[in-house]
């Protein structure tokens, strides 16, 4: 298999570099973790054994030559695009494990695949840490450097556009989440407001201030919301409805009172 038979696409993030090569019209996804190549196991199975081989990989590869990554693993967040729709785990095979799988394969293209990996894939990865689709054609004289530069710039522009869209989506989600948090903190119970202000209030004082806060809300047309809580009092189960006030109202109420005790934060 010659170099001109290989093509690849690149995806890069803070924690991993993913390259997608093509071998005989079948994709081979390679993940670079800490400088080492790891091959997506299902791609290797398809080429070396067939999708329904029922291969017991753990019996072939050694310890440390196979890893499983969860979709929600924070250490490898950039690999989520490699998962299938309902796929939870992603199996990766090291370079050493790859050679063991090749030796076990009975398919005639196994030898070609090994040559392709050693002559095309690994050199492309180790040369400069990335692969640009078509770069092997420049060496073979099938593409000039200007054309490769144009392809590279186009891919970088596409990548920058995608990263910008992902950043905007992440910022929108963060803003939405902050809005929910702010809304929750803007309305608090008397006890929550007391805790946020580090105040100690005797029961009689809490009742007095609750009434005062309710009056202020009514005068200003502000809704006094309710929180429903389930309480167990002895053997009895009670459903309680607790007033929730805007924190600004509680701050105003407390500003007109004198308290003998404050608790430390």
Q: Is 261 part of a structural domain of the chain?
A: no
Judgement on whether residues 168 and 215 belong to the same structural domain of the protein: no
pLDDT of residue 254: 78
pLDDT of residue 113: 92
Q: Is 16 part of a structural domain of the chain?
A: yes
Judgement on whether residues 125 and 159 belong to the same structural domain of the protein: no
Judgement on whether residues 9 and 45 belong to the same structural domain of the protein: yes
Q: Is 263 part of a structural domain of the chain?
A: no
pLDDT tens-digit profile, the chain (265 residues): 444 344 444 344 434 567 778 888 888 888 887 778 889 888 898 888 876 555 667 778 887 888 888 766 645 555 666 776 666 678 889 999 999 899 888 888 899 999 988 888 888 776 655 555 566 566 666 777 777 778 778 877 877 887 788 788 877 777 766 655 555 457 778 887 777 777 777 777 888 888 888 888 888 888 888 878 777 777 777 887 888 888 888 888 877 665 544 444 4
Q: Is 48 part of a structural domain of the chain?
A: yes
Domain-terminating residue out of 132, 164, 197: 132
Domain-terminating residue out of 112, 132, 152: 132
- State how many domains the chain has: 3
Domain-terminating residue out of 152, 170, 186: 186
Q: Is 138 part of a structural domain of the chain?
A: no
Q: Is 264 part of a structural domain of the chain?
A: no
Judgement on whether residues 37 and 158 belong to the same structural domain of the protein: no
Judgement on whether residues 93 and 193 belong to the same structural domain of the protein: no
The pTM (predicted TM-score) of the whole model is 0.45
Q: Are 226 and 244 within 8 A, CB to CB?
A: yes
Q: Is 34 part of a structural domain of the chain?
A: yes
Judgement on whether residues 198 and 100 belong to the same structural domain of the protein: no
Q: Residue 63 sits in a domain of what CATH number?
A: 3.10.260
> Helix-strand-coil percent breakdown of the chain, rounded to 5?
50, 25, 30
pLDDT of residue 17: 67
Cα dihedral sign, 29-32-38-41:
negative
CA 215 to chain centre: 47
Judgement on whether residues 11 and 127 belong to the same structural domain of the protein: yes
First to last CA, the chain: 69
The pair of structure tokens assigned to 114 is 């090994």
Judgement on whether residues 84 and 67 belong to the same structural domain of the protein: yes
pLDDT of residue 202: 75
Residue numbers of the domain that contains 152: 144-186
Q: Are 214 and 224 within 8 A, CB to CB?
A: yes
Q: Are 52 and 60 within 8 A, CB to CB?
A: no
pLDDT of residue 174: 73
Residues in the chain: 265
Judgement on whether residues 127 and 14 belong to the same structural domain of the protein: yes
Q: Are 21 and 134 within 8 A, CB to CB?
A: no
Judgement on whether residues 181 and 201 belong to the same structural domain of the protein: no
Q: Is 260 part of a structural domain of the chain?
A: no
Judgement on whether residues 40 and 124 belong to the same structural domain of the protein: yes
The pair of structure tokens assigned to 212 is 């005062």
pLDDT of residue 128: 56
E strand segments, the chain: 8-12, 17-23, 26-33, 36-40, 66-70, 89-94, 187-188, 225-233, 236-246
pLDDT of residue 7: 40
Q: How far apart are CA 169 and CA 45, in angstroms?
A: 36
Judgement on whether residues 52 and 87 belong to the same structural domain of the protein: yes
């Amino acid at each position: 298999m010659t170099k001109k038979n290989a093509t690849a696409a690149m995806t890069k993030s803070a924690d991993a570099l993913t390259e997608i090569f093509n071998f005989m019209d079948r994709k081979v996804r390679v993940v670079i973790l800490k400088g080492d190549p790891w091959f997506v196991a299902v791609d290797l199975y398809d080429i070396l054994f067939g999708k329904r081989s029922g291969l017991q990989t753990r019996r072939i590869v050694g310890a440390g030559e196979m890893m499983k990554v969860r979709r929600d693993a924070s250490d490898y967040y950039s690999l989520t695009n490699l998962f299938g729709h309902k796929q939870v785990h992603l199996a990766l095979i090291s370079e050493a494990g790859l050679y063991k799988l090749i030796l076990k394969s009975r398919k005639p293209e196994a030898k070609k695949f090994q040559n392709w990996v050693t002559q095309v894939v690994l050199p492309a990865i180790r040369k400069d840490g990335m692969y640009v689709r078509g770069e092997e054609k420049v060496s073979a004289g099938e593409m000039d450097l200007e054309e490769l530069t144009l392809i590279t710039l186009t891919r970088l522009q596409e990548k920058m556009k995608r990263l910008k869209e992902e950043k905007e989506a992440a910022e929108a989600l963060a803003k939405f989440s902050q809005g929910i948090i702010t809304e929750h903190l803007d309305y608090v119970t008397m006890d929550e407001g007391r805790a946020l202000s580090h105040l100690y209030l005797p029961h009689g004082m809490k009742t007095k201030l609750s009434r005062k806060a309710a009056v202020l809300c009514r005068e200003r047309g502000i809704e006094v919301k309710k929180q429903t809580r389930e309480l167990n009092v002895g053997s009895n189960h009670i459903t309680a409805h607790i007033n929730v006030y805007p924190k600004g109202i509680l701050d105003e109420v407390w500003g007109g009172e004198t308290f003998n005790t404050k608790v430390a934060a």
